[in-house]
């Protein structure tokens, strides 16, 4: 399995990625906000040792990263690739990350909770992602004593995560629903079902490129598998509505807009990140609707990630805004030329 942004998964015309996150804390130890950096590092080492002691096939693929030893650009790129949260990147003292070589598994240590297990995979694969995350949770519980209450379930710093500590989310490309002004209506409807729809970087973020995260909001009083089944039903309904709206908005004007977007992407010499995201969103829609047939279907999402400011600089050194805009345009042109 490859990185979520490099592969086209099941229902990939609409579902970009699936993420499972499980929050856990160690019994008898204060939450991370009450620990100094040195005590945090002690907890982090204990968790990493627990993984290495376990009899698992994936532990050999994991890398331990001290967050205060990496650069701002490296940390921001991890956010852009959805491997860590923004807050985890900005306050890195005492924090650590356990990351698999294919970027499918990322475990944040010392974020809001002692442990944040995250599985992120391409396409619509809630059951598969949950199965792997659950195995990691079981592996850790063999040697670590998690904070747990018989009535409240797993204890977390934020009360909204009490209970299962599970957050399941699916990133959806919803350009037709967005164009039809239906996203707010869907948000209201799913809210009544204990779900929420947010921007592409989760809570507090805005949508970019018509990308939205649909996730469960209730973790207390509902089993993990039941929460996932509820989410699966709503995702399927949302996909059906998006496809229905795509048929309704199909027109020569839409086709023209898609081809114009492809033309700019193929020949532009300067592209800022916002324009790139908008154009690539239209390109992805055009590929999904069969309007564009000479571009690799994985390319729009790949470029959306690789063209982000920090990720661009990761392998090219620090650059000012103008330099990034020129390099971004060059990257897009070259990838599209290779895709023909």
Domain 15-245 falls under CATH 3.40.50.2300: no
- In this prediction, residue 20 has a pLDDT band, given cuts at 50, 70 and 90, of very high
How many angstroms separate the Cα of 197 from the Cα of each of 72, 125, 190, 207? 29, 18, 8, 10
Residue 262: name the closest of 276, 246, 272, 249 by CA.
276
In this structure, are residues 68 and 94 in contact, taking their beta carbons and an 8 Å threshold? yes
Mean pLDDT of the chain: 94
Residue 81: partners with Cβ closer than 8 Å, 6 or more residues away = 3, 5, 103, 305, 311
What's the N-to-C CA distance of the chain in angstroms? 25
In this structure, are residues 79 and 89 in contact, taking their beta carbons and an 8 Å threshold? yes
pLDDT value at position 201? 66
pLDDT value at position 202? 59
| Rg, C-alpha atoms of the chain | 21
CA distance 216 to 118: 15
Instruction: Record the tokens describing residue 60, joined without a space.
Output: 């050999």
Percentage of the chain with pLDDT > 90?
A: 88
pLDDT value at position 59? 74
Residue 176: name the closest of 282, 327, 309, 63 by CA.
282
pLDDT value at position 56? 64
- In this prediction, residue 2 has a pLDDT band, given cuts at 50, 70 and 90, of confident
- Helix, coil or strand: residue 25: coil
- Tens-digit pLDDT profile for residues 271-290: 999 999 999 999 999 999 99
**Mean pLDDT value of segment 296-318:** 95
- Tens-digit pLDDT profile for residues 196-253: 998 876 565 567 899 999 999 888 889 999 999 999 999 999 999 999 999 999 999 9
CA distance 68 to 110: 12
Phi-psi region of 103 (alpha: psi -120 to 50; beta: other; left: phi over 0): left
Residue 209: name the closest of 259, 174, 183 by CA.
174
pLDDT value at position 200? 75
In this structure, are residues 180 and 249 in contact, taking their beta carbons and an 8 Å threshold? yes
Which neighbouring-strand residues pair with 202?
199
- Tens-digit pLDDT profile for residues 74-90: 999 999 999 999 999 99
- Tens-digit pLDDT profile for residues 49-71: 998 886 666 777 899 999 999 99
CA distance 300 to 210: 13
Give the number of other Cβ atoms within 10 Å of residue 243's Cβ.
14
């Amino acid at each position: 399995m490859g990185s979520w942004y490099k592969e086209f998964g099941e229902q990939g015309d609409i579902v970009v990625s699936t993420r499972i996150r499980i929050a856990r804390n160690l019994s008898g130890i204060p939450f991370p906000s009450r620990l100094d950096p040195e005590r945090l590092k002690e907890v982090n080492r204990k968790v990493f040792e627990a993984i290495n002691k376990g009899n698992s096939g994936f532990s050999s693929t994991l890398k331990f990263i001290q967050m205060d030893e990496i650069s701002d650009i490296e940390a921001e790129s991890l956010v852009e690739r959805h491997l860590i949260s923004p807050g985890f990147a900005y306050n890195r003292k005492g924090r650590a990350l356990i990351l698999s070589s294919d970027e499918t598994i990322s475990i944040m240590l010392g974020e809001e909770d002692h442990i944040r297990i995250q599985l992120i995979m391409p396409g619509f694969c809630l059951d598969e992602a949950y199965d792997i995350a659950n195995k990691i949770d079981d592996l850790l519980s063999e040697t670590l004593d998690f904070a747990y209450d018989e009535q409240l379930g797993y204890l977390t710093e934020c009360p909204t995560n009490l209970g299962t500590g599970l957050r399941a989310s699916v990133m959806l490309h919803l350009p037709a629903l967005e164009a039809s002004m239906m996203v707010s209506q869907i948000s209201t409807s799913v809210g009544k079902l204990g779900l929420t729809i947010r921007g592409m970087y989760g809570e507090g973020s805005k949508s970019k490129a018509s990308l939205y995260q649909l996730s469960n909001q209730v973790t207390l009083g509902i089993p993990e598998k039941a929460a996932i089944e509820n989410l699966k039903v709503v995702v399927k309904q949302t996909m059906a509505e998006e496809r229905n709206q795509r048929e309704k908005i199909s027109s020569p004007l839409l086709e023209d807009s898609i081809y114009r977007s492809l033309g700019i992407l193929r020949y532009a010499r300067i592209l800022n990140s916002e324009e790139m995201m908008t154009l690539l969103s239209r390109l992805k829609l055009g590929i999904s609707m069969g309007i564009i047939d000479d571009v690799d279907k994985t390319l729009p999402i790949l470029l959306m990630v690789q063209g982000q400011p920090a990720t661009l600089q990761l392998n090219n050194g620090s650059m000012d805004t103008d330099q990034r805009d020129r390099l971004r345009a060059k990257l897009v042109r070259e990838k599209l030329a290779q895709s023909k």
